[in-house]
Amino acid sequence: MSAGNGVPGGAGGVGDAIGTIDATADRRRLRSLRTRQALASAAVDLILERGLAEVGVDAISERAQVTRRTFSRYFAGKEDAALNFARADGERINAALRGRPYDEPLLTSYRAAVHTWLTDPGQPAEHSRPGPRALLALVPGEPALFAAYARIRWDEQTESVRILAARLGVDPGADPRPGIVVEAGAGVLGTVLYQWAGGTGTGPEDLAARVDRAFDELLEESFLARRRPASSLPAATSPTAGDANEERRKT
């Protein structure tokens, strides 16, 4: 059979049909991504221009040149749209975490994943861009933004826990190790991000350096805590003899 008569891979054949389907799917995904990014950018820009309370979904949709119905297909609300950068960055951290060596200590893996995200020259962290950084500075003072940001962080951290639990072959609901590591690592990152966004840092390179130093400090504190014998803890943390006698009298 000649090319064009249904021969796989020939002109007009199965191979071309599959290629056309893939190309169409890629174009749809690209359009969807562009629409999401346009809505997210519009939400960030309008909130920074007018304030959260003065911005509605209709205004965001109009700025992005889409309908309100289209907005609703992508986001639950204006806060969700404005914080799309946090979700995107969380997904990138988890993607890097999945690629870490299985024999690597868990906290080392989480730290390395964060470092990869922050120092990728081809795709800078969304948090480090001026708009998201300015919006992040508003989060602590805006209850609705704070709740949305906390929910996104929870979702991404839950996935981080699943990734580490799968590496260990444990149930994350029964074994606390993956959760402890992620809470510690995410706590370091969150603290530095809020301080940096609040105006105490400069550019993206400064953010990466601050996060690295904070992880160093966490590891140093952990090392010192392991070396400190329990007998050296302040006496106030243990009940005194008088307290014990008082408790016996009460019973």
**pLDDT of the residue at 128:** 87
Mean pLDDT (the chain) is 85
pLDDT one-digit tens code per residue, 129-152: 999 999 999 999 999 999 999 999
Residue 16 has pLDDT above 80, yes or no: no
100 close to 87: Cβ distance less than 8 angstroms: no
The conformation of residue 200, written as its DSSP 8-state character, comes to I
Question: Quick one: average pLDDT of 27-38?
Answer: 90
Domain ranges of the chain: 12-77, 83-227
Residue 57, judged by CB atoms within 10 A of its CB (0-12, 13-18, 19+), counts as middle
**pLDDT of the residue at 198:** 86
pLDDT one-digit tens code per residue, 87-132: 999 999 999 999 999 999 999 999 999 999 999 988 889 988 999 9
**pLDDT of the residue at 238:** 43
Going by pLDDT thresholds of 50, 70 and 90, the confidence category of residue 204 is confident
Residue 250 has pLDDT above 50, yes or no: no
Any long-range contacts for 33-40 (C-beta under 8 Å, 24+ apart)?
35/64, 35/66, 35/70, 35/74, 36/74, 36/84, 37/84, 38/64, 38/65, 38/66, 39/64, 39/66, 39/70, 39/71, 39/74, 39/75, 39/81, 39/84, 40/75, 40/81, 40/82, 40/84, 40/85
Single-letter code of the amino acid located at 226: R
Chain-centre distance for alpha carbon 130: 18
Going by pLDDT thresholds of 50, 70 and 90, the confidence category of residue 212 is very high
For 171: left if phi > 0, alpha if psi spans -120 to 50, otherwise beta; the answer is: beta
The conformation of residue 210, written as its DSSP 8-state character, comes to H
Residue 67 has pLDDT above 90, yes or no: yes
Note the CATH architecture for domain 12-77: Orthogonal Bundle (1.10)
Dist CA 59 CA 120 (whole Å): 34
Q: Which residue has the higher pLDDT, 228 or 54?
A: 54
CATH code for residues 83-227 = 1.10.357.10
Dist CA 72 CA 214 (whole Å): 39
Distances from the Cα of 189 to the Cα of 111, 131, 195, angstroms: 9, 19, 10
Residue 242 has pLDDT above 90, yes or no: no
**pLDDT of the residue at 49:** 97
**pLDDT of the residue at 193:** 94
Q: Which of 211, 182, 212 is nearest to 97 (CA)?
A: 182
**pLDDT of the residue at 227:** 77
Q: Which residue has the higher pLDDT, 110 or 198?
A: 110
Q: Which residue has the higher pLDDT, 2 or 227?
A: 227
Asked if the domains at 12-77 and 83-227 fall in one CATH topology, the answer is no
pLDDT one-digit tens code per residue, 73-95: 999 999 999 999 999 999 999 99
Q: Would you give the end-to-end CA distance of the chain in angstroms? A: 96
**pLDDT of the residue at 239:** 45
